[in-house]
Structure formats: structure tokens, C-alpha cells
A = this chain, B = another copy of it.
């Protein structure tokens, strides 16, 4: 009997992580001699620890195919990082107990940097704890911050969302600025790196809007920023801005926090966009509007990038093929062959070099004045937002996203496990 496989989604979900799930499940179904059933963890690795497994073999081929056009995590995801072997041996022993009970020999983990660390530890279960299995990491993160891969599945789609949204808002401002709003700020996710804000720059052609991008990598200088805003309004009649939520000042404080404490020292709610808007209103007297994209951007399957979708599927497929070929302890990666025409293939990277390494924007991607992206960044990023792949829409005018049956696998360990 071939061993079963365990698949789990981890960390913040994306518009295309389910395409990776489809890649894993469809490919595993093509290898019945090597892989038995694919069990998915309900709510990620938590599902393995609590023995809440989902039997994906109960889902029809059509339902699994529909994952390719369904955002978010169909089996549930979680933020839960395994500690080291020495710090919480009980967790690893529990994993082995569950995996043994369900005859699991393959571990496919679909996540970002923290998850790569977990996947690495699981790949070492054989050497460390006498339960060998093949662990392969399927990369996913809208933050685009994994090393040893040209890009991360999930990023291209948030990048496309950002570029499309700020282009549309810029058209709006251009229409109205003569008598109404002069400044518009789009706040995007990204605590540590400016990849997503950078994507807004793709909408700018020949120096057109958006006019200003604000990255966590560049210390916020209020005077320089205000001068640039005023200059844009003087020149173009308006100014559109994409700001990373993680923008910091020279002291390293989040701009969203700085200066927004009340008289008792309580931090006020409100993100970077509302803070910047307040500054612009107070110092320049300009009428503003702002939007906060938040989860809308990472869930926006309706405007996903085709390239991103193909890569998300491909890393899932390749992970299974690598496992069937006997590999373990690796992350599937995207290897770029050329920018234009854009060519790529799937490669692999050793997990011990991936885990806990964060890739920020290279300095050569940020313009000298710190307010925009360079041509090198455009060359890198444009292929990643290329192509459209709209989901099917129902007669109700809404995307027909699938909800799986998620049939539970009968528990076998006869034991509960308390999460820490």
C-alpha cells in the first residue's frame, strides 16, 4: 500500500493558494502507485496536532479543479509555528503519532518563511525522532519575501490588485481634482517590505500617476514628503500615493502609531493612510481621501494574475512530483530564465537555506529619491502581474467560488492533544 500524504495551508492566505492545493491533489491522484490519499489539515498544522484531518478523496475532480479559481484557504490555515525539537518535543511526538496512525509518508506544507521552518523540522523527524517522511515546502506568500525563489506565489495577484486599484483611483482623482479631492492615499499590507507598495508603481507610465510610493525600506521624512505632495498637486492638479502599512520614520517607529496617541498616551486606531491624510490636511490644507485595502487585496481572486496562478499551481504539482522522485527537505522555487519574453521553470531550494530568511526589496529597485520604483523593478515585476484568469461568475453576478465538503477522516489515535 502506498503511503498517504498530508497537505496543509499555513499563514496568511492568498488569492491563489488553493491553486497550489489543486496542484498537489490533482498530481497526487495521478500517482496512485506512489501516493494513497491526500489528507488535508483542518486549519493547517493545527489539524495535524489535533487529528482533525480532511479526506480530500471525497471531493470530486470538479470541486478540486474549482480550487484554481477560489481564493483563501479551502481547508483553513493558521498562524502556528512549531518550536525547536528541544523546546516542545511533545508536539513532534504528537505529529508522529498522528502521521503513523494515518500512514502518512508525505508532508506538503504550503506557506511562507515561518512555515518553511516548520517544514524543515518535519523533514528532520526521520533523523531526529525515527519517523522518516518526505517533507516538501510549497511556497506561498503575498509578501514576496522568501529567499531562493525569484518570486512567491500569491504576490503577483496582490501586485496586480494594487496596480489596477491605484490606476483606477488615479483616473478618479484626475477627473475631480479641479474642484474636489486633491490627494488620494491607498494603504497596502506589508509590515516589513515594500513589495506590494512597489507594485503600485507599475501603474505609472512615463512619470504619470501614482506619483508617490512609500516603502518600509525608506525612512519617512515628513518635510520631504509634504514638499513632494505639494509639487505633484502644483504640477498635475492632484497627487496619488501608495503607502505601506509598515512605513517607519527615521527613529524606526511606525508612522501609523507615531503622533497618533491621545493625551493619555493611548495609541489611536487608524493606519498609515489616515495618519498621512491628517498630516497633509494640517500642513498643506489639501482635501484628501484614502482607502485601506487590507484583506481585500490578498483575497481578490477576481483580479488575480494569470502568471501567479500558473506558478501557484506549478509549485503544487512539482512538489508532488519531487516527492514521488524520492526528494525531501526542499522548497519548490520559481526560477526566472528571462524578463522579456518572460520565461520561468520550477526549481528546488534546500529548506535549511530558506527557513527564517526574509528577502526585502533590493536597493536598486527603489528610485534615488526614495519615492518610486526603478526600471529594474519594473522589469522584474511586470511579468508577475501579466495575464488575467477571471473566475466563472454565477447568474447572480458573483464569482462562483467553491466550498468543499471537507469530510473528516475518522480519528484513530484515541487521544486528545492540547495546543499550547
Contact = CB atoms under 8 A, between A and B. Distances in A.
Nearest to A12: B176
Contact of A290 (B72, B174, B186, B294): B294
Contact of A398 (B12, B163, B262, B398): B163
A66 to B, nearest CB: 13
A317 interface: no
Given A172-B295, A292-B292, A295-B184, A43 B178 contact: yes
A176 B13 contact: yes
Say how many copies of this protein the assembly contains.
Answer: 2
A98 interface: no
A82 interface: no
Interface in A180-199: 180-181, 184, 186
A401 interface: yes
Given A78-B178, A294-B290, A299 B168 contact: yes
Interface stretch (A85-93, A100-108, A128-136, A269-277): A269-277
A64 interface: no
A117 B2 CA distance: 76
A292 B12 CA distance: 20
A179 B80 contact: yes
A9 B175 contact: yes
A294 to B, nearest CB: 4
A353 interface: no
Nearest to A340: B395
A291 interface: yes
A168 B269 contact: no
A73 to B, nearest CB: 4
A406 B397 CA distance: 35
Contacts of A268: 260, 262, 268, 270
Interface string A256-292: 0000101110001110011101100000000001111
Contacts of A169: 295-296, 299
B176 A78 contact: yes
A247 interface: no
A292 B245 CA distance: 14
Given A46-B179, A76-B175, A292-B292, 15 more contacts: A44-B179, A46-B178, A72-B175, A78-B178, A79-B176, A168-B399, A172-B298, A181-B295, A202-B398, A263-B264, A269-B278, A270-B270, A289-B295, A293-B296, A385-B396
Interface of A: 9, 12-13, 15, 43-44, 46, 70-74, 76-80, 160, 163-165, 167-169, 171-176, 178-181, 184, 186, 202-203, 260, 262-264, 268-270, 273-275, 277-278, 289-296, 298-303, 305, 382, 385-388, 390, 393, 395-399, 401
